[in-house]
């Protein structure tokens, strides 16, 4: 019983502002994940989709969706003839300018790296501005009683996030280390916290310090990065990483743009709509489970569709796009005389983190063709990545 009381007491000692920061961070994480999920699925990079479905599709869905119905055991779409598709893949070119990250993106990565080594500035002449991360200590009174207080070590917050309120942040701006000031914060009538809605709290605040990032120098990079000796080397590594990442996405778009489909495998595409829907429904369930609440009630909400009818149209569009990509990669695979061995299949799924027993179980549930198709397409796509021409 004593342990339980201590736990409750500790929870009560967490300041309201810290609770709000935790809630804001949770909301931001949910928002980022929600946007990212919609973006990833709407872009429809098939390899990622196949991998996600392999991981997430629940068994009851596998029972009603035949994933390999229109695929051969070699991972090829049934009924597609040589004249059904043409793809001049050897003429593919990408422009280097389309692959380069902008300066803001590179600087954001550098700042994230530097933030790992941030520290409170000892410069008492440094003045706080919006966007600064600061440490503050505060107490507050509401209705003549203590309302809220920071932890003994102070609390970190970023000016502009309005963790307590915009009024609080405004008063915090233009302050120096060690400065103490008072500010009255009146909370809105419709505040989520009914206890403080429409009331005014009087805060006494001390700015303990303003965080600053270390200077990015050759010495700093050499001491704190992995394998880089200079700022230029480190910056170039960030650029190169984005170029490789963007190369995949731009190439993926280029494949569809340069593929001519003379005849679509309609039965395969209809079945693929069911496969995609199963993946989205499972993704929705996993997403809701992860956050412990119903972020989505229907699968179509994942794609920001407004109705089941709009969702159906989106599934049809995605199935067509993925089919075009699959047919193009099959074309490359065959034209280059590639083969997909058992060793290739094992290596692909081992890299995904699956053992022999799991792979066998997946094959039983989803069919061999469905699993092999992912490997075939990866091999063909890797060939294109290695051989595509980059125009400087």
* pLDDT value at 3 more than 70: no
Scan for tokens 């090829």, then name that residue. 76
Please state, in angstroms and rounded to a whole number, the distance separating the CA atoms of residues 265 and 160.
54
Domains present along the chain, CATH in parentheses: 44-92+258-391 (no CATH), 119-212 (3.10.50.40)
Interior CA angle at 273 toward 271 and 279, to 5°? Answer: 110
pLDDT digits (tens, 9 = 90+) for 67-83: 999 999 999 999 999 89
| Distance, CA of 260 to CA of 83 (rounded, Å) | 10
Q: What is the reported pLDDT for 229?
A: 96
Per-residue pLDDT averaged across 288-297, rounded? 84
* Residue 388, CA distances (Å) to 199, 300, 322, 323, 371 in order: 64, 36, 21, 22, 26
- Cα atoms found within 13 Å of the Cα of residue 216, Cβ hemisphere only: 17
Of all residues in the chain, the percent with pLDDT exceeding 70 is: 84
Model confidence at 35: pLDDT above 50: no
C-alpha span between 358 and 344 (Å, rounded): 16
**CA nearest to 240, candidates 96, 104, 363, 342:** 96
pLDDT over 80 at 46, yes or no? no
pLDDT bin (cut points 50, 70, 90) of residue 257 is: confident
pLDDT digits (tens, 9 = 90+) for 195-216: 899 999 999 999 999 999 999 9
Report the alpha-carbon distance of residue 183 to residue 181 in Å, rounded.
7
Instruction: Give the CB-side neighbour count of residue 228, counting CA atoms within 13 A.
Output: 17
Residues 6+ apart with CB under 8 A from 23: none
Whether the CB-CB separation of 295 and 30 falls below 8 Å is answered with: yes
| Cα 164–Cα 168–Cα 171 angle in degrees, nearest 5 | 160
* Average pLDDT for the chain: 86
Q: What is the pLDDT of residues 353-388, one digit of tens each?
A: 999 899 899 899 999 999 999 999 999 999 999 999
| Region of poorest pLDDT, from 52-56, 180-184, 260-264 | 52-56
């Amino acid at each position: 019983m004593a342990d339980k009381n201590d736990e409750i007491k500790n929870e009560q000692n967490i300041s309201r502002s810290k609770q709000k920061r935790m809630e804001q961070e949770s909301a931001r994480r949910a928002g980022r994940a929600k946007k990212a999920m919609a973006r990833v699925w709407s872009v429809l990079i098939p390899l990622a989709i196949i991998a996600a479905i392999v991981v997430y599709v629940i068994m009851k869905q596998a029972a009603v969706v035949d994933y390999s119905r229109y695929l051969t055991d070699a991972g090829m779409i049934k009924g597609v003839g040589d004249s059904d598709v043409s793809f001049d893949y050897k003429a593919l070119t990408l422009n280097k300018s389309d692959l380069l990250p902008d300066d803001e993106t590179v600087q954001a990565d550098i700042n994230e790296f530097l933030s790992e080594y941030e520290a409170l500035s000892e410069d008492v002449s440094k003045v706080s501005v919006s966007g600064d991360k600061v440490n503050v200590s505060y107490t507050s009174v509401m209705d003549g009683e203590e309302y809220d207080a920071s932890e003994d070590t102070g609390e970190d917050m970023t000016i502009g996030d309005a963790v307590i309120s915009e009024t609080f942040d405004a008063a915090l701006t233009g302050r120096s280390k060690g400065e103490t000031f008072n500010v009255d914060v009146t909370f809105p009538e419709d505040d989520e916290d009914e206890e403080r809605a429409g009331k005014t709290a009087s805060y006494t605040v001390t700015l303990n310090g303003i965080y600053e990032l270390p200077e990015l120098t050759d010495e700093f990079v050499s001491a704190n990065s992995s394998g880089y000796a200079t700022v230029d080397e480190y910056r170039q590594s960030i650029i190169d990483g984005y170029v490789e990442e963007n190369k995949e996405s731009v190439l993926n778009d280029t494949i569809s743009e340069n593929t001519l489909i003379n005849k679509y495998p309609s039965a395969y595409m209809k079945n693929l709509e069911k496969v995609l829907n199963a993946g989205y429904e499972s993704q929705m369930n996993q997403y809701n489970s992860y956050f412990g609440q119903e972020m989505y009630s229907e699968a179509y909400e994942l794609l920001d569709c407004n109705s089941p009818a709009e969702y159906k149209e989106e599934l049809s569009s995605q199935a067509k796009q993925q089919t075009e990509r699959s047919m193009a990669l099959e074309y490359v695979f065959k034209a280059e005389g590639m083969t997909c061995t058992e060793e290739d299949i094992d290596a692909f799924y081992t890299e995904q983190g699956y053992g022999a027993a799991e792979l066998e179980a997946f094959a039983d549930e989803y069919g061999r063709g469905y699993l092999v198709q992912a490997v075939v397409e990866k091999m063909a796509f890797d060939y294109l990545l290695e051989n595509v021409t980059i125009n400087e």
